[in-house]
Amino acid sequence: MLISIAAASTVGIAGCGSDGDRKDVTDEPTDRDGVSTDSETDGTSDTPTDGEGTENDPGQVDDIDAFLREANGDKVTIPPGTYEWRGTGLTANSKIVGGGDQGDVVLELVSGTMDGTVHGTLENIVVRGRNLESKAGIDHHPGGVIDGFCWPEGGNRDQDRAIYHPTGGERTVIRDTCVAGLANNGAYVDKSPVTVERSAFLNNNIANLRVGHADVDTTSKSVIRDTLIAVTSSPRVGVDASTQNPVGLRIRHPGRFVIENCWLVFTEGGSSADGLVELRGDDIEAEFRNTHFYNDSEAPLIANIGSNNSVTLTGCTATGSGRMSMTAIDSGSFIESEASVPLPSTVTGFPQADESYGFDASNEIFGSGGEIPEHPGE
């Protein structure tokens, strides 16, 4: 079943901050290719508004716009199916839920950019297809919850990032999520405390996952657990920017950060990165628990680009043919040991996650199975 989604509402994406000596291309807010980000996508005026089938084909829903409009104030469940999507209208002010099993609701990009806004909850949505215009991303507002989102293809535009903090405030949550192939950060969520669980960030440039507490108290804590961060091929670099720097986890601002039961994997595509983990800021406390590092690249395991930063390791393992160097270790050390690394689909529950940009599910580094393997020390 192929269903067409017209634009339900307009969504704007704010610009992003700089990174010191390595500047992200999202530093200044811009329009998309000269078109204001709040421009509407064309839609038809004679399409159904109640989600019913058409007279010629009762099984096809021409306009699912009604579901998205209802999401402005109420919980909305989108029926299982594959829908053509022009990239706007995914506005979860209350709750948007994809019906059926994990991965049963698929939005196929046919034009425009991948736009969304989450103030409430977004759950069980898959986006397929590459971004076609600059500046993609879901604005993840304070207090918002993304509980099941998968975008395997990403895009190669200069301001692409799948998930973005437009402002700081209350904690946000990212759970059961996979984003891959973005030219400028997979998840750029460094303004509020964030909890990331059972997610996968694969082959994104600049940083696969960027966290920090730019707009909140520096004593705040962010938690990343049961999450896979992997660079297994060369990342996209966008149209204007040509720098490859696919950092695994970038911690950008002061605060406490707990990373537990995670996997950071770099193979041949990661050598151009500053590190599997990069502390790019001051007064950062990073605590790693039961986390496995696999490195076949020349990037260091942990790079410290800042001052007064500390790292604590508990039950962490490292292996691979690449560099095993690290800095800012205050307590603990790596244990040289092999460990099972799950597939993205195992981590997130989305079968589409194994089809992510640049990822080969047959890579022997990654295992299969229905459960996340145990970590050393658990």
What does pLDDT average to in each consecutive run of 10 residues of the chain (378 residues)?
A: 42 34 35 31 32 39 58 82 86 93 92 88 94 86 97 83 93 97 93 96 95 83 97 83 86 94 87 88 94 94 92 96 84 90 96 96 78 45
**Res 369: pLDDT:** 46
Token digits for 91? 């506005």
CA distances from 112 to 86, 129, 131, 154, 238 (A): 6, 11, 7, 13, 16
CA distances from 358 to 228, 315, 354 (A): 15, 30, 10
The model carries a pTM of 0.82
Token digits for 267? 């193979």
Q: How far apart are CA 9 and CA 175, in angstroms?
A: 25
* Radius of gyration for the alpha carbons in the chain, expressed in angstroms and rounded: 20
Q: Residues with Cβ < 8 Å from 369, sequence gap 6 or more?
A: 342, 346
Side-chain-side CA neighbours of 237 within 13 Å: the count stands at 11
**Res 72: pLDDT:** 65
Q: How far apart are CA 57 and CA 53, in angstroms?
A: 6
**Res 65: pLDDT:** 61
Residue 154's CB is within 10 A of a number of other CB atoms, namely 30
**Res 87: pLDDT:** 85
**Res 376: pLDDT:** 38
Structural domains in the chain, sorted by start? 130-367 (2.160.20)
Token digits for 81? 């199916």
**Res 64: pLDDT:** 56
**Res 309: pLDDT:** 93
Q: Residues with Cβ < 8 Å from 45, sequence gap 6 or more?
A: none
**Res 273: pLDDT:** 84
